[in-house]
Amino acid sequence: MSDNDPNLDGPPWEEDDVVERDENTDDMFGAPAPAAGPVPAPAPAAPPPVAAVSEDQADDGAAYQVLARKYRPRTFEDLIGQEAMVRTLTNAFATGRIAHAFMLTGVRGVGKTTTARLLARALNNETETIDRPSLTLTAHGRHDAAIMAGQHMDVMEMDAASHTGVNDIRDILESVRYAPVEARYKVYVLDEVHMLSTQAFNALLKTLEEPPPHAKFIFATTEIRKVPVTILSRCQRFDLRRVEPEILVDHLGRIAEREGMKIEQDALALISRAAEGSVRDGLSLLDQALVQAERGQVVKTETVRDMLGLADRSQTIALFESVMAGRTPEALENFRTLYGYGADPVQVTNDLLEHCHAASVAKMLGPNATRLPNDQAQKLAALGAAIPAATLSRTWQMLLKALDEVRRAPNPADAVEMAIVRLAYAADLPGPEEALKRLQSGEPFGGGSAPRGGGSGGGGGTSAQLAARPVMAPALPDPQTFEQVVALIGEKREVGLQMDVERFVKPVSFKPGAIVYESVEGAPVELARRLAGRLKEWTGRTWLIAANGQGGGDTLIERQRKERAAERQKIEADPFIKAVLLAFPGAQLGEIKTIAPTVVTPEIPDAAEDDDED
């Protein structure tokens, strides 16, 4: 470094930033300048061997979101099963008649918290084209993302289950006085509001009755009866309904398609039934069901049934049928088969309650009122038609008591079996009115004139059941016609057998002890064997049933349809009916019913007249 170096005029820290080396100069040791071009990166070290993981597995494991959160409604149109509430809110927002407090109530998982956030978004809806409260929600709202994430400073969400005291409410009342910072309204969302203490409710009353114009309150609760009426009277109440099973099945099916998975329709029906009207529960169960099969494979109904621990509904209907027919050994074997497959005794008892209710409803309103698949609805409707309403009512009460016993019993399966024995024994016991008639007429008090197979409790009492009697004693005289055979099956409450005979049997020839018929396509393979076994059990003689006949006539179902069609034609040809239809254009002849004749009760003489005669 020479003395003439201009950089020596000042201290080193006052010099400008000096580049340590100019890339355009030669190397100080005479080495040539490096050639231009990319510098090769050093070879990476060989990674340790790991297990092979597919790309889908890596992505799903890192960022998977459960279906209940992934498909949470983003707009009011996404809310399923709540059309009445959406319609009311739409009209209220369109006319500007917006309440200052809303009360949302319903069972878990129907969308109370989601609806509260959507309401908060609608109250503060602000886009490039919307600057007023509106239910037309878009993904580009100014406040939408923060509100849906629960992070907006003007939308306060509080869990009343963990903030029950008056001090928590006092904090809200202090902040209500101040105007919102960014949004149009300050919105206070209180979930599970019924958990607030009495003092907290009292502190909220005055502000809730006369809030400032910039404040809105949204309450959500599953226990509406625990909310004081003074609070309810200051809110606009919306009852979020349970989602109907058919609507929930369609919703779950669409979500499964979006996820690229296939699941059987009956499996979706099982999930919908287990969800009990809760969309969140249904999505959680669907999430669990979709992992039961590999990608691209169909999730089977049996797999979902095993996952849920449910009994097959057709099998529980068969159990209910055998119980109501008083076939105790068969009913016990049916239950033990279900229990062996993993069915929960409590769930089996619940199913029996549902079948009793469905049979009672179908008896009054028809099969469509049961909301069950057609074949199951038809079986329960036929069963309800064959059983008196008093017996169904008594069965319901006994099943309710049995359900409580099953829940409290140390061994629930034993409690179900004892309930089956009681139900089968009481199936033929007469009601109070019928018992009184039998006492007055001197008729025997047995549950039926015929002992039913398998030692059923036909209502004859313990001594009658233990008494010695012929094993194959004939219960009834032999049926003389095919129609009498079907009537006998109905009297014995063999609903499944009766429906099969009416639908699949075309009689070719009949004589007592022998039936030849032509089988309709789709008939059960063991139909002839079942029919022969039951007739032998009831009549005490062997019946020869042959299903290889040809040229049979119509089945009973087809015959009944033709008779109804002929009856309708006859009524439509009646001059009076023609005149009525002509007088009222557009009128149609609906269902034809035969009205029972009016029973005229004899007049009871007045007591005063009897006194005068004396």
Task: Tell me the pLDDT tens digit for each residue of 503-520.
Answer: 888 888 887 878 888 888
CATH code that applies to domain 69-239: 3.40.50.300
CATH class of 326-466: mainly alpha
Question: Lowest-pLDDT range, 421-435, 450-464, 566-580?
Answer: 450-464
Name the CATH topology of 245-308.
Helicase, Ruva Protein; domain 3 (1.10.8)
Residues 368, 375: Cα–Cα separation, whole Å: 11
CB–CB of 272/252 below 8 Å?
Answer: yes
Q: What percentage of the chain has pLDDT greater than the value 70?
A: 76
* 30 or 471: which leads in pLDDT: 30
CA angle 481, 482, 484 (to 5 degrees): 65
The 8 Å CB, 24+ separation contacts for 21-26 are none
> pLDDT confidence of 30, banded at 50, 70, 90?
low
Q: Is the pLDDT of residue 421 over 70?
A: yes
pLDDT (0 to 100) of residue 311 = 61
Both ends of the chain: CA-CA distance in Å?
A: 157
State the chain's mean pLDDT as an integer.
77
Q: Can you tell me which residue has the tokens 């004899």?
A: 602
pLDDT tens-digit readout, 37-61: 454 544 444 444 433 444 444 444 4
Q: What is the dihedral of CA 243, 246, 249, 251, to 10 degrees?
A: -60
Asked whether the domain spanning 326-466 has the same topology as the one spanning 245-308, the reply is no
Which token pair is 510? 């009949």
Q: List residues bridging with 219 in a β-sheet.
A: 103, 190
Closest to 427 measured CA to CA, from 362, 335, 498, 493? 493
Question: Lowest-pLDDT range, 428-437, 455-464, 575-584, 599-608?
Answer: 455-464
CB–CB of 323/300 below 8 Å?
Answer: no
Which token pair is 536? 């032998």
Which of 139-148, 431-440, 545-554 is modeled with the greatest confidence? 139-148
CA angle 342, 347, 348 (to 5 degrees): 80
* 456 or 346: which leads in pLDDT: 346
Query: Any idea where the domains of the chain sit in the sequence?
Result: 69-239, 245-308, 326-466, 470-580
